[in-house]
Amino acid sequence: MSLHTAHLRAHSDVSRLDTFIALSDFDRPTLVVDLDRVEAQFRALSAGLGRAQIHYAVKANPADEVIDRLVALGSHFDAASRGEIALCLDRGAKPREISFGNTIKRASDIAWAWDRGITLFAADAEEELEKIAEHAPGARVYIRLIVEVSEADWPLTRKFGCDKDTALRLLDYARDLHLDPVGFSFHVGSQTRRAEMWAPALDALAEIWTAAQDAGHGLTVLNIGGGFPAFYGEEIEAPEAYARAVMDLVTARFGDVPHIMAEPGRGMVAEAGTIVAETMLVSRKSDRDIHRWVYIDIGRFSGLAETEGEAIRYQFETARDGDQMGPCILAGPSCDSADVLYEKRPIMLPMTLRAGDRVLIRNTGAYTSTYSSVGFNGFPPLDVICI
Ligand SMILES: *Cc1c(COP(=O)(O)O)cnc(C)c1O
């Protein structure tokens, strides 16, 4: 698919959002989420993923209405905490549809989840297995592996998972603890733009899978995690084609695995959301300053944390985009000097932009409301409206 069609696709469904936004006033930064677009993403990902079961990664966007829509569509859920499990149960998900996928769990939360019927847990260390064995005796566990090579724009590889030898030892240890070790999980890295980037991780996993079977473990669950991309200006495949290509890579290596789980977060909700922000100030630091500074009312501490390292490059739109465009350094409103969104690669905004102008930030439905801190520096956290 060409960049052009990717761009068209990303903007083809915005009219419902844009109509709502145009007719509304907002007195603080607001994320508007189109639930129909979430549904379309779910259907496309499901179609491409085939027999894999979707466990939506709740942290990407935990709005009640998003969870409600996904429950209605038959999604399952990957939860990372007691709070996320409680949310899914409250919104009507069944306990057996929820996996406790964080490898770092409080013992009392394991007991709480087990008590409510959650039976599937992730682990990547001995001590975690011991906690699970004590507080969820006999539970199903999968071992999370480190992905060594990742070309993802937002890699998650360092904090979670264990290497091959540790993983094989943990399977044995889980069995010794009378748990039910059912398989492996990994995360290829968030915003993995092309499906073929999954191949090295799947190759490594296939080797470990075979070694585990040779060691006598009858594995049944392969959890391929998240990584499904959203459109941020660089070419990506449409969700159905992307998911199908990933499943082709999986099937070529793991044809007969009974249960495959996939945990899209970003790919499910990012393109369903637009943030409505406001320009607070346009200025230059000196007469010779070639860059304008544009300050908007949302920053790194109120929802746009993924601008860290300028890794995720959001798309900005204003009503003046027909005017001459020029580069600017874009910054948030707070009094923290780290609250600069894009500086190394400046953002193009209209030269006529001025304080009070509305700025739309596209495809921001994922990892914005969850990263919005509770009013850092007195600036209100990101409001969320689902339509
Ligand atoms: C965050 C997370 C996901 C979702 O990742 P995306 O890249 O947003 O799809 C999936 N699985 C686990 C375990 C996660 O922590």
pLDDT in tens, 293-318: 999 999 999 999 999 999 899 999 99
Q: Taking residues 168-197, what's their average pLDDT?
A: 96
* Ligand 1 atom nearest to CA at 268: 9
User: Coil, strand, or helix at residue 91?
Assistant: coil
Query: Which residue type, as a one-letter code, is found at position 148?
Result: E
Q: What residues does CATH 2.40.37.10 cover in the chain? A: 271-386
User: Coil, strand, or helix at residue 56?
Assistant: strand
Ligand 1 pocket, Cβ-based, cut-off 6 angstroms:
57, 59-60, 78, 101, 187, 190, 225-228, 263-267
Write down the residue that tokens 């998900």 correspond to. Answer: 93
Angstrom CA distances, 243 to 144, 249, 344, stand at 21, 10, 33
Residue to mutate (ligand 1; options 56, 263, 312, 371; most atoms within 8 A of CB):
263
pLDDT tens for 196-226 read: 999 999 999 999 999 999 999 999 999 999 9
**Where in the chain does DSSP place strands (E)?**
30-33, 53-57, 76-79, 98-100, 120-123, 140-144, 180-185, 221-223, 259-262, 273-283, 292-296, 315-317, 325-331, 340-350, 358-362, 383-386
| pLDDT range class, residue 374, cuts 50, 70, 90 | confident
What sign does the dihedral 38-39-40-43 (CA atoms) show? positive
- The CATH number given to 271-386 is 2.40.37.10
Check residue 148 and give its pLDDT: 74
Question: String of b and e for 228-238 (b: at least 16 CB within 10 Å)?
Answer: bbbbbeeebbb
Check residue 150 and give its pLDDT: 63
Mean pLDDT value across the chain? 93
Check residue 2 and give its pLDDT: 38
**Closest Cα to atom 12 of ligand 1:** 225
pLDDT tens for 62-120 read: 999 999 999 999 999 999 999 999 999 999 999 999 999 999 999 999 999 999 999 99
Structure tokens, 129:
């297995």
User: Coil, strand, or helix at residue 142?
Assistant: strand
Query: Which residue type, as a one-letter code, is found at position 338?
Result: A
351 phi/psi in degrees, rounded to 5 = -65, -20
Q: State yes or no: pLDDT of 377 exceeds 90.
A: no
Q: Is residue 89 within 8 Å of residue 112, measured between CB atoms?
A: no
Check residue 1 and give its pLDDT: 34
Structure tokens, 74:
């038959």
**Percent of the chain residues past pLDDT 70, beyond the cut:** 94
Nearest to 271 by CA among 42, 2, 107, 55: 42
Q: Where are the alpha helices (DSSP H) in 75-163?
A: 82-90, 107-115, 126-135
Q: Is residue 307 within 8 Å of residue 149, measured between CB atoms?
A: no
Structure tokens, 270:
């990012």
pLDDT tens for 226-235 read: 999 999 999 8
Check residue 13 and give its pLDDT: 55
**How many whole angstroms separate alpha carbon 203 and alpha carbon 253?**
8
Check residue 156 and give its pLDDT: 62
- Taking each continuous run of H as one helix and of E as one strand, the counts in the chain are 11, 16
**How many whole angstroms separate alpha carbon 39 and alpha carbon 126?**
39
Q: Where are the alpha helices (DSSP H) in 136-265?
A: 164-176, 199-214, 239-254
Q: Is residue 369 within 8 Å of residue 385, measured between CB atoms?
A: no
C-alpha 226 to ligand 1 mean position (Å): 4
Name the residue with higher pLDDT: 84 or 380: 84
C-alpha 362 to ligand 1 mean position (Å): 21
**Closest Cα to atom 10 of ligand 1:** 226
Residue to mutate (ligand 1; options 41, 156, 192, 368; most atoms within 8 A of CB):
156
What sign does the dihedral 125-131-137-142 (CA atoms) show? negative
* Ligand 1 atom nearest to CA at 366: 8
Name the residue with higher pLDDT: 95 or 189: 95
User: Coil, strand, or helix at residue 118?
Assistant: coil
pLDDT tens for 129-179 read: 999 999 999 999 999 999 876 666 666 666 789 999 999 999 999 999 999
| pLDDT range class, residue 7, cuts 50, 70, 90 | very low
Kindly list the catalytic residues.
335
> Is residue 4 within a helix (H) or strand (E), and if so which, with residue range?
helix 3-12
| pLDDT range class, residue 30, cuts 50, 70, 90 | very high
* Ligand 1 atom nearest to CA at 60: 8
* Ligand 1 atom nearest to CA at 190: 7
C-alpha 289 to ligand 1 mean position (Å): 41
**How many whole angstroms separate alpha carbon 124 and alpha carbon 143?**
5
**How many whole angstroms separate alpha carbon 189 and alpha carbon 312?**
13
- The CATH number given to 35-264 is 3.20.20.10
C-alpha 28 to ligand 1 mean position (Å): 28
Q: State yes or no: pLDDT of 4 exceeds 60.
A: no
Residue to mutate (ligand 1; options 41, 45, 78, 154; most atoms within 8 A of CB):
78
Q: What residues does CATH 3.20.20.10 cover in the chain? A: 35-264
* Ligand 1 atom nearest to CA at 263: 10
Q: Taking residues 369-383, what's their average pLDDT?
A: 84
**Percent of the chain residues past pLDDT 90, beyond the cut:** 86
Q: Beta-carbon neighbour count of residue 217 at 10 Å?
A: 18
Nearest to 273 by CA among 341, 377, 370, 194: 370
Residue 307 DSSP code = G
Q: State yes or no: pLDDT of 6 exceeds 60.
A: no
C-alpha 104 to ligand 1 mean position (Å): 15
Those residues whose C-beta lies under 8 Å from the C-beta of residue 23, and which sit 6 or more positions away, are none
